[in-house]
Structure 1
Amino acid sequence: MAFIIDDILFSPLKFTIWLAKKLRESALQEMTDESQIHDELLTLQMQHEMGEISDDEYEKEEAKVMERLEAIRELKEEI
């Protein structure tokens, strides 16, 4: 009988904890997704090859994207 009462009383708390864990997992998955970074690099390279951006712009933007990629990889190692 006590177990049923405990389940009823603690179910909102258990649901909140479960939801927080799922949100954390989802956020971590999104934060560590490298596919978007690879797409940005590919787009940047295509813009450079088509002459839409200069060599200097390409190098600056590539450096920024590579920094983000490195940060993602470091985060994955920490996890």
Structure 2
Amino acid sequence: MGLLSGLLLFPIAGPVRGLRFVLEQIREEADAQLFDENAVQAELMSLDLLYRQGEISDEEYEAREAELFDYLNAIRASNEGRGEGDEYWEGDAW
């Protein structure tokens, strides 16, 4: 885009570029929160604590634990697909 056309189109192109930048930032933050393994692990620990304190039943614990492990596995598979695997992960060893 030439200088003249850039100046003439700036009132339209400038806000569009700014909006695109903001939307990309929002998407990146949403992805970071959605694919946060630490948050899921913290929720698993919280669930375990509730179970040990007797605040939830065996059925509730098992159902929620299965959901969280499925979600954690999906996050890990997604991260591997995007090339964002954990550097310390080596097969079955933590």
TM interval, short-chain normalised? 0.7 to 0.9
Task: State the shift of 1:67 in Å.
Answer: 1.0
Q: Does residue 1:32 correspond to 2:26, yes or no?
A: no
Task: State the shift of 1:57 in Å.
Answer: 2.6
TM-score, scaled relative to structure 1: 0.77
d(CA) in 1 for partners of 2:73, 2:58: 22
Superposition CA RMSD, Å: 2.1
d(CA) in 1 for partners of 2:32, 2:48: 26
Structure 1 gap segments, 5+ residues each: none
d(CA) in 1 for partners of 2:8, 2:79: 38
Overall identity of the aligned pairs, in %: 30
Q: Which has the higher contact order (CA 8 A, sep 6+)?
A: 1
- 1:64 corresponds in structure 2 to 67
- 2:49 corresponds in structure 1 to 46
Q: 1:2 aligns with which of 1, 4, 16?
A: 4
Structure 2 gap segments, 5+ residues each: 83-94
d(CA) in 2 for partners of 1:47, 1:4: 60
